[in-house]
DNA sequence: TCTTGACCTGGACTCTGTCCATCGTAGGAT
DNA sequence: ATCCTACGATGGACAGAGTCCAGGTCAAGA
């Protein structure tokens, strides 16, 4: 994601210190942080950054397709910086840990047209659930 | 779901008017209501029913496996009374409409053990997204 | 009918996210 | 290098979804 800021600048994004810090936080560990976690980590480097800015910036990154929004539990949305490699998610029902996984096959192909009810289906998200080694 | 109350009584559930009304609301149209929608419909029959009771009852029905919790948009959770027939969901990105669908194949089989990271994987939820005929 | 513990109520509270008026500043123009 | 200005940041109020709790109520067995 090191060239992310370049790409965004090319799209007319004004690069501010706040946006840079948010991008750096996402670029750090490849984990799935909530907006408030992103805010907390960003605030370590830029103490005055506001929650609203973090929410705005994350929303823009999602709209630009640089980050994926994941909501696996109906609680806070999580933000996945791994947007350029298609993948699905494996979630621990015990502790909530999330891993990126790469199933074989294409779930879209498994939905017959009779089951599409006239919808233009464009995407299939799969959430695998189970227990991680520590919780089992 | 007509025998739902019988099954629940058999499991030691105390059948109250509130629980009966919530079960009847879910049994009505086979749509995917939010908790507040369930509360609104329940309140038409039993005006004093409280939100807390609706939340509690829905949570109990989910824990007992009689109802499935669906969160397709990171907003309010929705409750799906069609718990006894395995299915997935097709969501309209425009208006949020939800349909039950029955894909072929088993997504669990598409997750190789190398991609399981030691998890005991028990379930795969698929959310298909696209545009419904009216929104397209 | 009585008793009792499970259940219900309403309101306060938390968490997540959005909105808005105002202030600040990135970056092009000079 | 400096100035301008529109875009972005701020923070506090607000809203929606859900949880918690103390106290009152009632289903169902004795």
A28 CA to D6 C1' in angstroms comes to 32
Domain A4-80 has CATH 1.10.287.130: no
Contact of B114 with chain A, judged by CB distance below 8 Å, is answered with no
Distance A16 CA to C25 C1' (A): 9
Domain B88-130, architecture per CATH: 2-Layer Sandwich (3.30)
Sign of CA dihedral B126, B132, B135, B136: positive
Per-residue DSSP letters for B39-107? HHHHHHHSTT--HHHHHHHHHHHHHTTSSEEE-SSSSS-EEES--SS--EEEEETTT--EEEE--SS-G
Residue A62 and residue A69 in contact, taking contact as beta carbons nearer than 8 Å: yes
Contact B42, B22 (CB under 8 A): yes
pLDDT of residue B36: 97
pLDDT digits (tens, 9 = 90+) for B96-106: 999 999 999 99
CB of A117 less than 8 A from some CB of B: yes
What is the C-alpha to C-alpha distance for residues A59 and A63, in angstroms, rounded to an integer?
6
**Could you write out the three-class secondary structure of B3-43?**
CHHHHHHHCCCCCCHHHHHHHHHHHCCCCCEEHHHHHHHHH
Residues of B whose CB is below 8 A from A77: 74
Which H or E run contains A20?
Answer: helix A17-27
A42 close to A21: Cβ distance less than 8 angstroms:
yes
Residue limits of CATH 1.10.10.10 in chain A: 4-80
High-pLDDT (> 90) share of chain B, %: 80
Q: Over the stretch A106-121, which tens digit does the pLDDT of each residue have?
A: 999 999 999 999 999 9
- Write the burial class of residue B69 (CB in 10 Å: 0-12 exposed, 13-18 middle, 19+ buried): middle
Nearest one of B48, B45, B13 to B27, comparing CA atoms: B45
Residues from chain B contacting residue A74 (CB–CB below 8 Å): 69, 71, 74, 77
- Cα-based angle A84, B126, A104 (whole degrees, multiple of 5): 55
Q: From the candidates B111, B114, B134, B135, which should be mutated to test the interface with A, based on the most A CB atoms within 10 A?
A: B111
- Give the percent of chain B with pLDDT over 70: 99
Distance from CA of A75 to the nearest CA of B (A): 7
Nearest Cα of chain A lies from the Cα of B66 at a distance, in angstroms, of 19
Give the distance from residue B3's alpha carbon to the nearest chain A alpha carbon, in angstroms.
29
Q: pLDDT band at B25, cuts 50/70/90?
A: very high
For residue B110, the chain A residues in CB contact (below 8 A) are 103-105, 107
A103 and chain B: CB distance < 8 Å anywhere? yes
pLDDT tens string A59-107: 999 999 999 999 988 899 999 999 999 999 999 998 889 999 999 999 9
Q: Are B23 and B58 in contact (CB under 8 A)?
A: no
Contacts of B94 in chain A (CB under 8 A): none
């Amino acid at each position: 994601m090191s060239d992310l800021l370049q790409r965004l600048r090319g799209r007319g994004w004004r690069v501010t210190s706040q946006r840079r810090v948010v991008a750096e936080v996402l670029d750090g560990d490849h984990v799935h942080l909530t907006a408030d976690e992103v805010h907390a980590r960003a605030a370590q480097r830029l103490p005055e950054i506001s929650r609203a800015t973090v929410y705005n910036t994350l929303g823009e990154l999602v709209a630009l397709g640089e980050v994926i929004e994941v909501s696996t539990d109906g609680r806070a949305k999580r933000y996945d910086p791994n947007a350029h490699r298609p993948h699905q998610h494996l979630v621990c029902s015990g502790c909530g840990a999330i891993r990126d996984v790469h199933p074989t096959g294409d779930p879209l192909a498994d939905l017959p047209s009779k089951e599409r009810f006239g919808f233009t289906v464009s995407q299939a998200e799969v959430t695998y659930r189970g227990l991680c080694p520590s919780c089992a």
